[in-house]
Structure 1
């Protein structure tokens, strides 16, 4: 098992980290305090990213997986999913809230990349896409979607409400999960690309949050919202055996991305803690852990957990790039990275005492930002349930 990043990805990671230093961290506190105000500085960052990836944005994520199914596979690939994870880690070393509000880099773009056909991928290529799954009362049970989509001629009519939509008030497209027939169950759930300005879609409120305040989190209502049938992502047919699998493939691509966010935030906290404590704690990696100070031992333990989370994340992304089923690995990465990020950021605040708790440093902000990374895209408990089902070869009905 080769654990080093390829040279091209190291360069990408360095570029993202440098951009974080120069452009994200300097405005991090500003937009943490100015919640719901759009960071105009990100327009320049987004333009730079468009130049780097030929305007594909986050839509490139997931594309390699489907592409390889129709091509003869030779060797291994480090493609869009791996590159996205490395870049995201570097950006979140700067600020995860700002990363979440970068134009054309939304999780909805990864959803489009996972299930859109060639025509849709091209049509939505330069759009900023958010993802709308969660509803009042559904919690983490994505299969319990109640938003409906009824076919009426050449359009689907959407009715329902979505909450906690990241970039919901700013994105060009909202990728909406809705059911074609509630009585059929999860097989009838499909995703629709609803473009901003579509009559019947309305942003009803913006949430006030613990962390990631630079990112807008919206509630959106759909009242007789007519969406052309060409905006249904994936297969429109209801297949009771595999219908939900196509929609859930979205998570196989986006969960490693969220894990990468957690890896980046945890790394930022670790690096800054070592910097703040350098006068009091010098890390000596050659010394046995039982001979060093308590603070030093804590840092070693956190770094070991961080490295495990990072490798799990890269493994899940690599599998997606190489056309391998990665549902279990994506959930493992998300669960490990989310939990590790929470633990690391809070412990770093504790180790740095007053320096960690005050607004003079970013440690307290990172500890607040970290909590969402263990919640969205499926909570810790949901990820563990998915892993258990895969290991035990049980269905969702058999293991709840």
Structure 2
């Protein structure tokens, strides 16, 4: 694995940097204060992005299917859609995480479509803005505990249940809903369905008020005999007890590096601002001195930078493996676990190092510390990631290691 960023990604990185600086940062505080107000500035931006790079800046539509991303033979070196997504999204979230989650046609549900949809479904839903509905009142980190059901009814499925914390649930054109075809068969029966906005039986119950990412709407959605066409079931409709939950989990293998990239972006923003503040206070930030000869604040800053670099490299590895067709479940969880934890720790520590400036609304530091917390929670909490890593290292199943 080469650690230099390939030159072909220069344009997307530059484009994302300009977006973060010129579009997101100027309106960041505005939509943090105006929670649930739709950022209209993003409509024109999304249209431009569709034309320039087929909507692949954000992690939703950008994350590609692992099996299609490379030949898996170990020969050659491919850097494709997954790497493109991670690099671009890191820069965008340097601007604002909530706004990044609000870009039309770039929902997390698009990653689910990219991961498990067949060719016909990819064409049909390729331009659809899709949210992802997994979490339920009784099923959070353990996705296998999903109680929402999908019952066959002729050429349709009837979906019944409730989903909470659905990012972009009100704004998106469709919601990818995870439901069980037969709860008695456990994990193997869980499938994902594309439920388009306006489908009878799907109701947005409420929007949540949140600690961070306030520019992004977070909805609770109820499904009551919601009739969905059979062809909207993503991937293979057959229930395979042997294959189990593996097909559905491919979604997370794609989205976890994406969330890690988001954490890296917001943490880097906090570190850069803190560095500027310490520099303006007259502290020597040079790396030539040993830690014990530096002021405590400078030493702490350098340690935080090292943690961020470790998280960045883990994330690049997970994305590279996906692009080269290599199974990356363990590496995706490692990247998410590291980046989610240190991203939140870095932003909080930067608030402390910046004292009253970091705590006030005159800077975005306090906002970044709030925004970063969700990145250690959704797409699987810190504890769940460590559990997955342990299972992969020890060769244990979920039943054997809980």
Indicate the TM-score class for this superposition, using the shorter chain for normalisation.
over 0.9
User: What pairs up with 1:169-180 in 2 under 5 angstroms?
Assistant: 169-180=170-181
Q: Which residue of 1 aligns with 2:136?
A: 135
TM-score (norm 1): 0.97
SS at match of 2:221: strand
Asked if 1:19 corresponds to 2:19, the answer is yes
| Partners of 1:63 and 1:398 in 2: CA distance | 28
Does the 8 Å contact 2:69/2:324 carry over to 1? Answer: no
1:139 Cα offset (Å): 2.0
Q: How does 1:291-302 map to 2 (within 5 A)?
A: 291-302=293-304
Would you say the 8 A contact 1:64–1:80 is kept in 2?
no
Conservation of the 8 A alpha-carbon contact between 1:156 and 1:227: yes
CA displacement, residues 351-376 of structure 1 (integer Å, 9 cap, x when unaligned): 10010000000000000001100000
SS for the counterpart of 1:323 is coil
- After TM superposition, give the deviation of residue 10 of structure 1 in Å: 3.2
| Alpha-carbon distance in 2 for matches of 1:73, 1:312 | 19
For structure 2, list consecutive stretches of 5 or more residues without a partner in the other structure: none
1:48 aligns with 2:48: yes
- Given that 2:151 and 2:157 are in contact with CA atoms closer than 8 Å, whether structure 1 keeps it comes out as yes
Secondary structure, counterpart of 1:185 in structure 2: helix
Q: How does 1:117-156 map to 2 (within 5 A)?
A: 117-156=118-157
Bigger mean CA deviation after superposition, 281-290 or 134-143: 281-290
Separation in 1 of the partners of 2:101 and 2:67? 23
2:204 alignment counterpart: 203
The alpha-carbon deviation at position 65 of structure 1 amounts to 3.3
2-side partners of 1:105 and 1:268: how far apart? 22
5+ residue gaps, structure 1, are none
**In structure 2, distance between residues paired with 1:46 and 1:299:** 36
Cα shift at 1:53: 2.0
Query: Is contact 2:131–2:169 with CA below 8 Å preserved after alignment?
Result: yes
Structure 2 contact 148–180 (Cα < 8 Å) conserved: yes
The alignment's TM-score, normalised by the length of structure 2, stands at 0.97
* Distance of 2:206 and 2:39 partners within structure 1: 19
Please report how far the alpha carbon of residue 137 of structure 1 lies from its aligned counterpart in structure 2 after TM superposition. 1.2
Equivalent residue runs for 1:315-334 within 5 Å? 315-334=317-336
RMSD of equivalent CA atoms: 1.4
How far off its partner does 1:54 sit? 2.6
How far residue 74 of structure 1 moved from its aligned partner, in angstroms, is: 5.4
Q: Give, in whole Å, the separation in 2 of the partners of 1:358 and 1:48.
A: 35
How far did 1:68 drift?
3.6
Maintained 8 Å contact 1:55/1:125:
no
Name the residue aligned to 2:6. Answer: 6
Aligned match of 1:366: 368
Structure 1 residue 59 displacement after superposition: 2.8
SS at match of 2:177: strand
Distance in 2 between residues matched to 1:112 and 1:372, nearest whole Å: 23
Partner of 1:29: 29
Q: Note if contact 2:151-2:159 (Cα within 8 Å) is conserved in structure 1.
A: yes
Partner of 2:381: 379
Q: How far is 1:290 from its partner?
A: 1.6
Q: Note closer, same or farther for the CA distance 1:73–1:291 as it changes in structure 2 (3 Å cut).
A: closer
Partner SS for 2:344:
helix
Shift of 1:73: 7.8
Provide the residue aligned with 1:248 in structure 2: 249
The correspondence of residues 273-312 of structure 1 with structure 2, limited to 5 A, is 273-279=274-280, 280-312=282-314
- Deviations along 1:46-97, one digit per CA (max 9) or x if unpaired, are 112111223567334223632545x988511111110000010000000000
**Residue 241 of structure 1: how far off its partner (Å):** 1.3
Name the residue aligned to 2:182. 181
